[in-house]
Amino acid sequence: MKYTQNEVLQYVKEEDIKFIRLAFCDVFGRQKNISILPGELPRAFAQGIPFDGSAIAGFGDETYSDLLLHPDPDTLTVLPWRPEHGRVVRMFSSISLSGGTDFPGDTRRLLQRAVEAAEKLGRGFFFGTEQEFYLFNLDQNGQPTLEPYDQAGYMDIAPEDRGENIRREICLTLEQMGIAPESSYHKEGPGQNEIDFRYSDPLTAADNAMTFRTVVKTVARRNGLWADFSPRPLPDWPGNGFHVNISVRSEHSNDLCHIIAGILEKAPEMTAFLNPVENSYARFGRFKAPRYISWSSENRSQLVRIPSGSGEYRRAELRSPDPEANPYLALALMIQAGLYGIRQRLDLPMVANLNLYKAPPEVLARYRQLPESLPEAQRLAWQSVFIREHMPACVLESFCASSKP
């Protein structure tokens, strides 16, 4: 449900809301927030709520530390896990400098700009996300272990699948927040789970991805468990993916092909942002995680998969990102790479209708590979004209400073 500022003020008063969380994230996608009392809400809408940006990763040093949060009333939602007495609501917020201009490190705003660029070309992008996570037991001191919550396999059911009730609680909590999951099930790894989302506009999809991670961790902890979104928590089992399904509203029937071609061309340069930690690269090339830059229909060994479907169900799935990615940056770069493909009218490379996990070396030699390590990915991003065109210097520095010559 969409709200205006006046409707939010009225809702807070009528529903006896006691705390308002203004949420944002650092450049790496780690969610942050500040809580204000209802009496501060008019000032938040009119002027913004100040905070010390120098204390946030990637937001700079003490030189320009005064930043302001401006809540987006469209994103108002109750946090269902907080007590009924003293209810808490949350709104995602944009960030400005003290003079009122946009803060360059506001990655949510970067995604908004990408959406605006698409709209100028008459295109509307939509995304559906699929996030995987492991559930691990806690030790006697309440600290995370690497002991899986169950030993179930792909799409198993209870009693082997002990995560069934956890996923149910997660989905019901999300529904209370106005977010509709599409499906949930057990994955291949012991204690590994997946919950998928319906298509939505880019900003809503990224907001929902952020909310999802918070809800999963909260529900897991409430049940005495630890939810692990890291790319490869167990070396001998599948890693966690953040698969992103993309579709486009357009009058041009070949746009999706151009978009995929643009994403494939720019994939190596974008990888540092889609896979931002060293552990990300331990996931590539095993257990259905891609290594080569290729595409096919339905084939899960490819970087981009185009499932069967037509009309509104026609989509492409990018399979390389992992849950450590900042979803605002990931979707923004996918849009910009797709627009690049549209502007250049790029054609898709030859389809790869083969299993790349079993192909001989002479066949694999035909395909470009994703970066094999974080330093390699950072170097490619640092040298990329495309990345520099769409990524503010402060964000690029945060991700790739170690790769500077």
pLDDT at 46: 95
**Residue 80 backbone phi and psi in degrees, to 5:** -65, -20
Percent of the chain with pLDDT over 70: 96
Instruction: Give whole-number Cα distances, 334 to 29, 101, 378, in Å.
Output: 16, 25, 17
For residue 375, the SS3 value is helix
Q: What percent of the chain has pLDDT over 90?
A: 79
Q: How confident is the model at residue 59 (pLDDT cuts 50, 70, 90)?
A: confident
Closest CA to 32 of 61, 4, 8, 56: 56
* Tokens of residue 296, six digits: 């096919």
Per mean pLDDT, which range of 30-39, 97-106, 108-117, 312-321 is the poorest?
A: 312-321
CA 26 to each of CA 32, 34, 90, 129: distance values in angstroms, whole numbers, following the listed order: 7, 13, 17, 21
Domains contained in the chain, CATH given: 5-103 (3.10.20.70), 113-403 (3.30.590.10)
CA 87 from centroid of its chain's CA atoms = 27
pLDDT of residue 307: 77
CA distance 387 to 332: 11
The sign of the torsion formed by the CA atoms of 87, 204, 241, 377 equals negative
> Is residue 13 very low, low, confident or very high in pLDDT (cuts 50, 70, 90)?
very high
pLDDT tens-digit series, residues 160-177: 999 999 999 999 999 999
pLDDT at 403 over 70: no
Nearest in space to 228 (alpha carbons), one of 159, 148, 326: 148
Q: Looking at the predicted structure, is the pLDDT value of residue 301 above 80?
A: no
Residue 57 has pLDDT above 90, yes or no: no
Q: What are the pLDDT digits (tens) for 179-196?
A: 989 999 999 999 999 999
Backbone angles phi, psi at 199, to 5 degrees: -65, 145
DSSP codes of every residue in 16-65: TEEEEEEEEE-TT--EEEEEE-GGGHHHHHHT-EEEEGGGSTTS--GGG-
DSSP strand pairing (316-318 vs 304-305): antiparallel
What stretch of H or E contains 78? Answer: strand 77-78
3-state secondary structure of 75: helix
DSSP code, position 10: H
Q: Is the pLDDT of residue 312 over 90?
A: no
Measured in whole angstroms, how far is the alpha carbon of residue 318 from the centre of its chain? Answer: 12
Pair of tokens at residue 264: 């494939």
Mean pLDDT of 244-264: 93
Question: In 10 A of CB 389, how many CB atoms?
Answer: 9
Residue 403 is given by DSSP the state G
Q: Compute CA distances 107 → 114, 183, 220, 232, whole Å.
A: 11, 28, 27, 25
Please answer whether residues 265 and 341 qualify as being in contact, where contact means their C-beta atoms are separated by less than 8 angstroms. Answer: yes
Across all residues in the chain, what is the average pLDDT? 92
Looking at residue 404, what is its pLDDT? 60
Instruction: Please work out, in degrees rounded to the nearest 5, the angle formed at the alpha carbon of residue 37 by the alpha carbons of 79 and 74.
Output: 50
